[in-house]
Amino acid sequence: GGGEATGRGEATGGGEATGGGPAPPVVPLRPPQCEGSVELLGASGGTAIVQCSSLRRPPSVWAVKDGGEWTCLVDVGSLVEKHDAGPHCEQARAALRELRSARLEKVRLPEEEGGSEALCLLPAGASRAPWTLKIHGGPHSASLDSWSVEVALLLASGVCVIQPNYRGSIGFGDDFCAALPGHVGEMDVGDCVALTRASLAQLDESLDPARGGAYGGSHGGFLTAWLLGCEERALYSCGVLWNPVVDLPAMLGTTDIPEWVSAEGLQGDAAGADATWPVGAEDLLELHRRSPLSVIDRVEAPALMLLGAADQRVPHKQGRSWVSALQQVRQRKGAPADVTALEFPGEGHAIASLEGNAHAQQSAVAWLVERLRGESNAS
């Protein structure tokens, strides 16, 4: 049989009819007692292999043949519990135990406000704790209940994590996904702000409204840059931007997918045709209006920029232009810009090398923790 992973993190398996017989039913591929998301890694000869994980449990890999009993091949959590090679192992075990006791809440906006939702992960007993809005990229991707090293590190440091699925995210239906193109820098920004406010209201005893930040990569970095300069920017006291899109017109001549800029940033005509490519002069003005660089003069919060020097998807000059513009604006106002840029030579969009990725993630988490936990508690 074959299968696919759905946007809600559920793997499915099934097959085509053979020999003229009926096709077998498509059934969820979920091992027993596995919470969170399931990803189908492969299927052949009647055997399926899946990976299970959640925000509170590290990955495990399972196999099943012909719909029979499941066999666990690897369980990272069990390996950590059994391994004993010094004090760091005990720290890892303590962190995993704390993570398993964390609270997972869902926050959802009313349908008349777009119906976006967020996953909120809070340390057990969190009270007026700092938090980070961790924003997925794409924009046609999704934040799932699946393992994330960065989320685990933030939780272990006492920082709550809000993961928004704004309009344009996958897994919530075609209409929800298709709503965003032509409205970036507006609809997605509004959803992130609304989900932030809804989370603070629903979890008011757990989250400190005065100690929040934003963190995102690619389109998530685009949204982080917007949140630091939008009308509601006081919600976010700092931000981390990982290879962000900040200047849509400049992207047209530098990215390896220039048609993405047109498709996401411009609306089609009244007859329903797609946005045109190449773009015209009026289109360039519209793209600038939808770019976070257009509100750089409002940014006052500290920021950390993480850049892959060999990124062809979002060239590193995007992030560098934002840093330079912020420094110039702040200098004219007589106040230095609190911004740091880390550039990783030879790295692409994902900063994917083992050493580079670990350095980038640890730098982002440590920077956020220092600023969010260092703020005085408003309560």
Residue 165 to residue 136: CA distance in whole angstroms? 8
> Alpha-carbon distance 223 to 225, whole Å?
5
Token code pair at residue 300? 């006052």
State how far Cα 133 lies from the chain centre.
9
Q: Which of 53, 291, 311, 316 is catalytic?
A: 311
Measure the CA–CA gap between 290 and 138, rounded to whole angstroms.
Answer: 16
44 given a catalytic annotation:
no
Question: Which residue among the candidates 136, 219, 316, 349 is catalytic per the annotation?
Answer: 349
Catalytic residue among 37, 199, 218, 291: 218
| Cβ atoms 224, 247 nearer than 8 A | no
> Which residue type, as a one-letter code, is found at position 305?
M
Q: Yes or no: say if 244 and 224 are a contact pair by the CB < 8 Å rule.
A: yes
- Residue 243 near residue 307 (C-beta atoms within 8 A): yes
Residue 311: which of 226, 223, 170, 217 has the closest Cα?
217
Q: Match 């920077």 to its residue by tokens.
A: 367
Tokens of 112: 């008349």
Q: Report CA-CA distances (Å) from 159 to 130, 191, 208, 248, 252.
A: 5, 22, 10, 32, 37
Active site residue 349: yes
Q: Which residues are catalytic?
A: 218, 311, 349
